[in-house]
Chains A and B, each alone.
Chain A
Amino acid sequence: MIPARFRHVAPADLGGCVAALAEGGRVLAGGTWVLPEMSRGESAPAQLVDLRRAGLAELTATADGLQMGAMCTYADLLGSGPVAEHAPLLRTMAGGITGGWALRNQATVGGAAMAARPQSDVPAALVACAAVARVAGPRGARDIPAAELFAGAMRPSLAPDEVLAGFRVPSAAGAGSGYVKLKRGGSSWPIATAAAVVRLDAVGLCTEATLVLGGVAAVPVRIDVSALLGRVVVDDDVRAVTAAVADALPEPWGDVLAPASYRAAVAAPVARRALSAAVADAEEERA
Chain B
Amino acid sequence: MTGEEGRVELRLTVDGAERTASIDPRSLLLDALRDELGAIAPKAGCRTGDCGACTVRVDGAIAKSCLRLAVADDGCEVRTTASMAVGGELTPLQQAFWDTNAFQCGFCLSGMLFAAEDLLERTPSPSETEVREAISGNLCRCTGYDAIVAAVLSCAAPPVRSSRGA
* A interface list, Cβ under 8 A from B: 1-6, 8, 10, 28, 30-32, 35-36, 39, 48, 50, 52, 75, 98-103, 105-106, 186-187
Contact = CB atoms under 8 A, between A and B. Distances in A.
B138 A52 contact: no
A186 B145 CA distance: 14
B47 A5 contact: no
A100 B136 contact: yes
B84 interface: no
A35 B28 contact: yes
A36 B136 contact: no
B69 A99 contact: no
Contacts of B134: 100-101
A50 B28 CA distance: 14
Most chain A CB within a 10 A radius of its CB, from B63, B115, B134:
B63
Given A8-B69, A106-B63, A101 B50 contact: no
Interface string B1-33: 000001000000000000000001111100100
14 contacts: A1-B31, A3-B26, A4-B26, A31-B69, A32-B49, A36-B48, A36-B67, A39-B47, A48-B69, A98-B137, A102-B55, A106-B68, A186-B136, A187-B50
A31 B68 contact: yes
| Majority secondary structure, B binding face | mixed
A4 B24 CA distance: 11
Contact of B49 (A1, A10, A36): A36
Given A98-B136, A100-B137, A186-B136, A5 B26 contact: yes
Nearest to A99: B137
Nearest to B32: A1
Interface in B67-83: 67-69, 71-72
B123 to A, nearest CB: 11
Nearest to B71: A8
B61 interface: yes
Contacts of A52: 72
B126 to A, nearest CB: 13
Given A32-B64, A100-B111, 11 more contacts: A1-B26, A30-B67, A36-B48, A36-B49, A36-B66, A39-B47, A39-B66, A101-B119, A101-B137, A102-B111, A105-B63
A35 B136 contact: no
A97 to B, nearest CB: 9
Contact of A6 (B26, B114, B138): B26
A100 B138 contact: yes
Contacts of B26: 1-6
A39 B67 CA distance: 10
Contacts of B49: 32, 36, 99, 103
Contacts of A5: 6, 26
A2 to B, nearest CB: 4
Given A31-B68, A31-B69, A99 B6 contact: no
Contact of B114 (A8, A10, A32, A102): A102
Nearest to A8: B71
B48 A101 contact: no
Interface string B91-117: 000000000000000000001001100
B155 interface: no
Contact of B72 (A39, A50, A101, A103): A50
Given A101-B118, A102-B55, A39 B28 contact: yes
A39 B70 CA distance: 13
Most chain B CB within a 10 A radius of its CB, from A8, A28, A100, A186:
A100
